[in-house]
Every structure is written in C-alpha cells, then in structure tokens.
Amino acid sequence: MIPELDELINSKIAKDAEAGVWMCFDCDYRSNNLTHIKNHVEGKHIDSGGFSCHICGKISKTRVSLQMHVLRQHSRGGRSDRNNKVPYLQLM
C-alpha cells in the first residue's frame, strides 16, 4: 500500500544472526517473527497517521490492525469484498 513505509520499517530492524531474532533499533523489542516486529515498528515508532477502514471509516494505527479490524468486523463467512460498500454487516 505504501512502499516507503516498508522501507522505513526495514531501516529500523535488523536480524541478530546469532540469536536468530529480529531486533528493533528504537527500543529493546525483539521477535523471531518478522511480521510481528514489523507490526511493532509500524505501531510504535512510525507515525503513519493511521489507516482508515474503507467500509466504516475507523482509523487503525497499523495496516495489520486494520486488516484485523476488517476481518473481524466486516467479513461474513469469507469473501464478500465486492459488496463491501454496503453496510449490511452492521446488523448486530
């Protein structure tokens, strides 16, 4: 979505080859999961201004949390992407 954001994230992490974990340059956070540390950096150290849900407009701080939001709040039994402009999922 935003290529520069990934570059920025990549510039803030490094892999500790010995320990086999990813390290955050800006704090002591470590993770052996690249996705986790990228999400950590994106949420903690980068002010992206957030990402708004294209369905309900809710702002999520990171792309991952936005994905989680969309999956949890707006998916009903799978792929209904084509109809996502219709707020029929808000019935409950």
Report helix, strand or coil for 27: coil
Q: Give min distance, CB of 28 to Zn ion, in A.
A: 7
C-alpha distances out from residue 92 to 53, 66, 73, 76, 87, Å: 18, 20, 10, 12, 11
Identify the residue among 24, 39, 51, 66 touching Zn ion (CB under 5 A).
24
Q: Which is nearer to Zn ion, 2 or 68 (CB)?
A: 68
Q: Give min distance, CB of 17 to Zn ion, in A.
A: 19
Q: Give residues with Cβ within 8 angstroms of 90, minimum separation 6.
A: 56
Identify the residue among 2, 27, 68, 86 touching Zn ion (CB under 5 A).
27
Binding site for Zn ion (CB under 5 A): 24, 26-27, 29, 53, 55-56, 58, 73
